[in-house]
Amino acid sequence: MGVGASAAYAADAPRGQQVANANACMGCHAVDRKLVGPSFQQIAAKYKGDRDASAKLARKVKDGGSGVWGMIPMPAHQSMSDADIHAVVDWVLAGAPSK
């Protein structure tokens, strides 16, 4: 399982990407262009070198909020587990790689 040719299949995608797909993040975000919210690559660039970014963005995903990128609010995700939130936030901060 999970060798060579199967790398493109969803099951082999990074966990953060799977979490993003499973929680409708991609309805408002894309990896490389702005949709309703900033692209995940823009977010990675903005917080590059910010050691508090992971904790700060995890709270933002959970509680929602606005005013960092514009007036459109990011909805809260209270039902997501902390493990899923950290996986997706760390994936975003890594620049949302496809593998």
- By CB under 6 A, name the binding residues for ligand HEC: 20, 23-25, 27-29, 36-38, 43, 57, 60-61, 65-70, 72, 74-75, 77, 88-89, 92
The letter for the amino acid at 42 is: Q
| CB nearer to ligand HEC: pick between 7 and 83 | 83
Instruction: Tell me the C-alpha distance between 56 and 93, whole Å.
Output: 12
Angstrom distance (rounded) from CA 53 to CA 48: 8
Cα separation, 53 vs 66, in Å, equals 16
Q: Which CB atom, from 32 or from 69, has the smaller least distance to ligand HEC?
A: 69
Shortest separation between residue 56's beta carbon and ligand HEC, angstroms: 7
Q: Which 3 state secondary structure label does DSSP give 20?
A: helix
CB of 51 to ligand HEC, least distance (A): 15
**Tokens, residue 98:** 């496809």
Residue with Cβ nearer ligand HEC (4 or 51): 51
